[in-house]
Amino acid sequence: MAADSQPPVQLDRDAFKQVLRLRALRLPKQHCQQYMKILKGFTLDRPRLRCIVPDGKSSDSRLLLLSESVASPGLSELREDLRSRIQQDKVEVTTYEQPMDYGCWPADYVLKRLLPEGSEVPSSFETIGHIAHLNLRDELLPYKHVIGQVILDKNPNLRTVINKVGTIENEYRVFQMEVVAGDDDLETEVKQHTARFRLNFSQVYWNSRLEREHKRLVDSFRPGQTVIDVMAGIGPFAVPAGQRGCQVYANDLNPRSHHYLQENIKLNKVAKNVQAFQMDGREFIRLACNAPAVGSQAEHAAARDASNASEPCSTSCQSAFPPGFRFDHAIMNLPASAVEFLDAFNGAFQHERWKGPLPMVHCYTFAKADETNAGVQSRVEAFLGGSFEASEPGVQPSQSTFSIHMVRDVAPNKRMLCVSFRLPATVAYGSGGLRPTADRAPNGGGSANGDDENIAKRPRTE
């Protein structure tokens, strides 16, 4: 029988009503806090339930409820020193009946009772504003609506529960989803450290699990540095970098990501520091590396003055890069295929136009668990079209060592990495048209995007 043909499970909240028979200590009310400390770990510890309750026999005393694990009349589950203290103080041990209803039980307990025996209960989910994002296994799909409802009931800050449907199969890295519980409202706002981000989760890519990585990389930038964000998405790197005092040129091909990138630039008041672009990532890299020569400042100023200063800049023309433009860092946050864009740096620089050190590149990629750092470096060099060890005659070799930062495990045999390196001079000032020798799949090749195993088209967004 197919998974979706299984009979639906109904959520009967009344079925969770029951009474817990608990051991309790009858104490003078002024001694309750003292005994709570003495019996730490042995008192009732359940959400929404108090372990100190009124005593129906006297207004001067209270009942201290003990954990369900302390069940014997003689409190034999307690340590001997604790039992001796209770006897020494002549504390009365009694029984208390605690009413329990649906609201008292945690989500995992409720789902274990509702789902078939042996089913793996969903233990975690991503939260995006008021949205809970599930990725249910096939065997749980018949129960998706009841799972969603329980998650809503137990998380009052949530209003919508969605489940991912299939894999990412579009150019813009947006997966199909369905609302399984709550409001059909995927427009939300999230906060990461000092920045706020608005987005429609059905239209753009967002991963809340990358918050620490966003901060780590941005914290490595110095105020006043210039950053290009090639696959910027809605701005998780660009906006905080702008808040840090960097000049950021942020690009994304997805029209909806570009829309929310502009909105988030405005929302966080970083329009003076962050400009938004919408073009192919490879084209964006080429334009940034080969900005107009110094001498056309007046023309550039006129182009900039023509834009509305109160609105974030949105452009796809080279005039947005000032004459003599150079950048210190390039972010390429597209783990499934960002390495395939590295060839855009090959030969993109000209000695007479580029002054100062070559930029640092921070490229995100996926790797199998058994792939060594040397293997990752070889793969990057193949797509880059040059070696980190080579040196052009008369040009100093790269001063930066090749470094790999482990971001997180995305699957049992799959890691997300951030590869950072200073662009080698032999690559930057190379032949320009050089193509890497690494095998390329028809759609860009590489490993899967996000946590998915297959992508029909390689996206060019965050």
Give the residue numbers of the binding site for S-adenosyl-L-methionine: 214, 252-253, 280-281, 333
Q: Which two tokens stand for residue 11?
A: 């959520």
C-alpha triplet 278, 410, 208: angle, nearest 5°: 55
Residues at the binding site are 214, 252-253, 280-281, 333
The sign of the torsion formed by the CA atoms of 372, 373, 378, 380 equals positive
Residue type, 436: P
The CA distance from 427 to 397, in Å, is: 11
3-class DSSP state of 146: helix
Residues 6+ apart with CB under 8 A from 82: 38, 39, 42, 75
Q: Where are the beta strands (DSSP E) in 271-427?
A: 274-277, 314-315, 329-332, 360-368, 403-411, 414-422
**According to DSSP H, which parts of 316-421 are helical?**
373-384
Query: Would you state the torsion angle of the CA atoms of residues 221, 223, 225, 226, taken in this order, to the nearest 10 degrees?
Result: 90
Q: Where are the alpha helices (DSSP H) in 194-237?
A: 211-219
b or e along 348-363 (b: 16 or more beta carbons within 10 Å of the residue's beta carbon)?
bbeeebbeeebbbbbb
C-beta separation of 173 from 454 below 8 A: no
